[in-house]
Amino acid sequence: RGEQEYALWTGLFAGALLLSKYTGILLPVSLGLYIILYRRSLFANRYLYLAVILCIAVFSPVIYWNYLHDFISFKFQIGHGVAQEKVFHPNEFFKFSGAQLLLFHPLYLLPLFYFIVRDREIFSRKKMFLLIPFLFTLGFFIYFAAFKKANAQWALPAYLSATILLAYYLAQRNAAKLIVAAGIMTALALLLIKTPAGDVIPAVKNFKSRAVKIDHFDKEIKSLHIDIDSYDYILIDDYHGTDVAYYFKKYDNVLVVTPERFSNFNIWRYEDLNISMASPLVSLPKLGKCLYAGISDLHLYELNQLFGKGKVLLFEKKMIGSREISFYLVEYHN
């Protein structure tokens, strides 16, 4: 009875996982590989199939939505992560692989691989239950990173089971010194991030400039005495800027100007404002008083063509890491 309940709970949470992130499919697939290799007897258990059905049922709203929208988010996800041409890019490959050391911690990830290689019982059923999701998920993203730029955090699901496996090895070997060393290294890294000392390292400086983006924007808005609530719409370059608009509680009044990287904002602007999902802005309905907050000279030109010349509230050169950008706050009346 216990295994039957676990099977149903697994199906339920696997469906919830897919609702959260499409790449979550890698964990159920890893579980399937484990069953094929070590628990083939489960294929005779009807609860395995009930778990699969339950998973699909939980995920079915997303499937249905995609069916109504020509499977657009599935297509985007595949096109976003999979290279059309398999041309090896060593720079992206090593950048992604090296970033995994920072993501999980170099004093944890490297020893983990060492422990795995040295473990004579690594192929035991219990250890493979943890090892397969780790290696399969990490290997999946490292493979695709060889051909196309991949974000380091995409591989984070791999470290769910890796953390448990590492904890087992550390406890078995009483590796207190390793844990202390990792803690000291983490403290030093936080010190670099939290103090000006880290600005001498380009990667740290870039991270800090991005992390405080909203706080800086808030100060600029207040220093200019801009009343955000007086604007009917906030116009931004792409969906990355929506965090700024949401910070100012403009939940339903955000217009993403560019269709460059497709997101649900493109669908909303089509459904709410009848603006094309796939082409640059060529016309706009009456939006009232708008504030453009962005860095694109092209978007500024397009908006000036649509609205007439706007009132420039702020034009400032900014350094984002090692990159200089032009930042605009421009008011329009439509």
Q: What is the DSSP secondary-structure string of 53-85?
A: HHHHHHHHHHHHHHHHTTTHHHHHHHHHHS-SS
Would you list the domain boundaries of the chain?
Answer: 1-81, 85-194, 211-333
Mean pLDDT of 78-96: 82
Q: What is the percent of the chain with per-residue pLDDT over 70, rounded to a whole number?
A: 83
Residues in a beta bridge with 293 = 236, 329
Confidence of residue 130 (pLDDT cuts 50, 70, 90): very high
Query: What is the phi/psi pair of residue 259, to 5°?
Result: -95, 15
Tokens 């955090």 belong to residue: 153
What are the tokens at 155? 């591989």
What's the pLDDT at 161? 94
* Neighbour-count burial for 2-16, b at 16+ CB within 10 Å, e otherwise: eeeeebeebbebbbe
What's the pLDDT at 271? 77
pLDDT tens, position by position, 191-235: 877 777 766 666 666 666 665 555 666 676 777 788 888 888 888
What's the pLDDT at 143? 92
Confidence of residue 302 (pLDDT cuts 50, 70, 90): confident
Quote the CA–CA distance of 14 and 133 in Å, as a whole number. Answer: 14
Given a contact cutoff of 8 angstroms between Cβ atoms, the answer to whether 261 and 273 are in contact is no
- Mention every residue, 6+ apart, whose C-beta is less than 8 A from residue 138: 100, 155, 158, 162
What's the pLDDT at 140? 93
Given a contact cutoff of 8 angstroms between Cβ atoms, the answer to whether 292 and 255 are in contact is no
Q: Is 321 or 333 the better-scoring residue by pLDDT? A: 333
Q: Mean pLDDT, the chain, as a whole number?
A: 84
Q: What is the percent of the chain with per-residue pLDDT over 90, rounded to a whole number?
A: 36
Quote the CA–CA distance of 101 and 194 in Å, as a whole number. Answer: 21
Mean pLDDT of 34-41: 94
Residues in a beta bridge with 328 = 294, 315
What's the pLDDT at 235? 85
The yes-or-no verdict on residue 54 having pLDDT over 60 is: yes
Q: With CA atoms as reference, report the closest residue to 300 among 285, 287, 319, 281.
A: 281
What's the pLDDT at 70? 82
Q: Which long-range contacts (CB under 8 A, 24 or more apart) does 69-75 make?
A: 69/267, 72/262, 72/267, 73/22, 74/22
Confidence of residue 79 (pLDDT cuts 50, 70, 90): confident
What's the pLDDT at 164? 95
What's the pLDDT at 214? 57
Q: 266 exposed, middle or buried (CB, 10 Å; 0-12, 13-18, 19+)?
A: buried
Confidence of residue 135 (pLDDT cuts 50, 70, 90): very high
DSSP 318: E
- Mention every residue, 6+ apart, whose C-beta is less than 8 A from residue 35: 42, 43, 48
Confidence of residue 328 (pLDDT cuts 50, 70, 90): confident
Tokens 């595949």 belong to residue: 78
Q: Is the pTM of this model over 0.95?
A: no
Question: Strands across the sheet with 233-236, in order?
Answer: 254-256, 233-236, 289-294, 323-333, 311-320
| Window from 45-49, 118-122, 297-301 with minimum mean pLDDT | 297-301
Q: Pick from 143-157, 161-175, 193-207, 254-268 the range whose average pLDDT is largest.
A: 161-175
Quote the CA–CA distance of 174 and 43 in Å, as a whole number. Answer: 39
The yes-or-no verdict on residue 240 having pLDDT over 70 is: no
Helix (H, G, I), strand (E, B) or coil at 299: helix
| Window from 32-46, 95-109, 265-279 with minimum mean pLDDT | 265-279
Q: Is 322 or 246 the better-scoring residue by pLDDT? A: 246
What's the pLDDT at 202? 67
Mean pLDDT of 81-94: 83
Q: Is 221 or 105 the better-scoring residue by pLDDT? A: 105
Mean pLDDT of 266-282: 72
